[in-house]
A and B are shown apart, each in its own frame.
Chain A
């Protein structure tokens, strides 16, 4: 899943597979990448916890799909699809370290630079638990095939 500069569509998984449900975006992107032969014009990227990297990989694309764990006051395991303009971020960052960046601040920067494609969609999955551990909650694990199917349907 190296950076390719050819495709118009990029699907990005974010999160940490060693922080339990935070890793759901990365798990989904690997499952999608395993089906990449069905989507020859789509790039699938595991950016892990490197949120700042989003700025670069969306530049020049026509369509972006981001997949991440997200607190949304929903039942654990719920996946929602939304655009940037449908939500406001509640994430508090202390500003003491750039390691704690909020994805929305990066997307806002990208938008202000006129680099963010208008067709940018976020899929977020409500976690049961975000804590150290390499296993996701059953509520999320059992729905992984459903998450993948739904995003693939979006790509077809």
Chain B
């Protein structure tokens, strides 16, 4: 009798859009190793055609309920690039401050709600409440601070309403910024506590290495999420955002309806570990110390460590934000009215989403109506790399129990913090 091992993580849902894991082996011979992504195509590129440049950021903010500020900012940078709109230094700083709130929102949720249960052997964050109740409450406090931070600057905790071409529709007051500063200073202790808890269970992160190309924004002297050019661990070349298509090189594979990407190798990775591997020397002191506690060093090629890099970034964005708030308070908040007039043009914009580099491109006719769009999301850029990780990891763990193999592969996917099936959150209920 041949011994067959088959793993299928495949869920039937009302709306297509999940990633599936499919592994099959007979008598120790691997016959199939696939990361399948039947993601429903994102129709947002079509949705913005025919709309005014003023409405783009509002529409694309609904692509995702987690990275809505990020999509808004990438689109605003692309619109401003297309229409030659200059923004002030104050707007720049306030946008970066807003963007950091979303990095903290997203990373704290991902590490706290989705990754931590794996590390402590629980099925979900609800299951952690008894034994790890204090840690869960710490995560919730951090996420709550991040939400209030977004609300204060963007006018909503998600799907921002104050980010506009050229600036903000409403500016925060200096009093609000001082209040935010107090909140963030208190939050530092919670972040330190969370880091200690994760460190105490970090041995549960699998030790798996695979040489990988990492891609992230690079900007002189800064651990950047907002400004810069496209950089890679495989080259010293810096590619301008306007040429992002020659970095992503999107292509189609039979196992996925999402487009995959590659640059110097057959796949590349984006996200917190990519940013760390490209920019670690620019982390602020407490973030650097947090990375050192985990032994995370530049050049790390263990994808599971992306979660540790996310934790490091949580610390960094709070430190960086405290600096920005001080600068804004020193200069004083000056009233500004964005000055924008439509014209024909085309432009690209890029920011680092929590889960990796994100590109938007739009074209406009002279009245500012959008005629075309192209959006390249980080999760799609990671799909090819997840497949390559699977191909390298499965032979190394073939002798393990089938449930353990399944868990290790699920943890691998989770470590990339993928944005799948996030456009909708309908209920599905049965009355009892």
Contact = CB atoms under 8 A, between A and B. Distances in A.
Interface in B408-432: 410, 413-414, 417-432
Contacts of B325: none
A104 B68 CA distance: 22
Interface stretch (A11-19, A35-43, A138-146, A148-156): A11-19
Q: Which of A1, A56, A89, A122 has the most CB of B within 10 A?
A: A56
Interface stretch (B106-114, B201-209, B231-239): B106-114
B109 A2 contact: no
B101 interface: no
A15 B425 contact: yes
A134 B66 CA distance: 20
Given A73-B430, A82-B431, A97 B419 contact: yes
Interface residues of A, number: 61
A112 B432 contact: no
A96 B18 contact: yes
Contacts of A59: 144
**For the side of the interface on B, what is the size category?**
35 or more
Interface in B63-81: 64-66, 68
Contact of B425 (A51, A72, A96): A51
A82 to B, nearest CB: 7
Contact of A15 (B12, B15, B422, B426): B426
A82 B432 CA distance: 11
Interface string A106-121: 0011001100000000
B140 interface: yes
A33 interface: no
B29 interface: no
B110 A49 contact: no
A56 B109 CA distance: 13
B62 A16 contact: yes
A89 B110 contact: no
Contact of B430 (A2, A87, A92, A103): A87
Given A87-B432, A99-B420, A132-B423, 13 more contacts: A2-B155, A2-B156, A17-B62, A55-B143, A71-B427, A71-B428, A86-B431, A92-B13, A94-B11, A95-B414, A98-B109, A99-B65, A124-B429
29 contacts: A2-B155, A15-B426, A17-B62, A18-B47, A18-B59, A46-B156, A48-B62, A49-B62, A49-B64, A50-B65, A50-B157, A53-B147, A56-B143, A68-B427, A70-B426, A87-B430, A91-B429, A92-B11, A94-B18, A97-B422, A99-B65, A99-B422, A100-B18, A100-B421, A100-B425, A104-B429, A124-B429, A132-B44, A133-B43
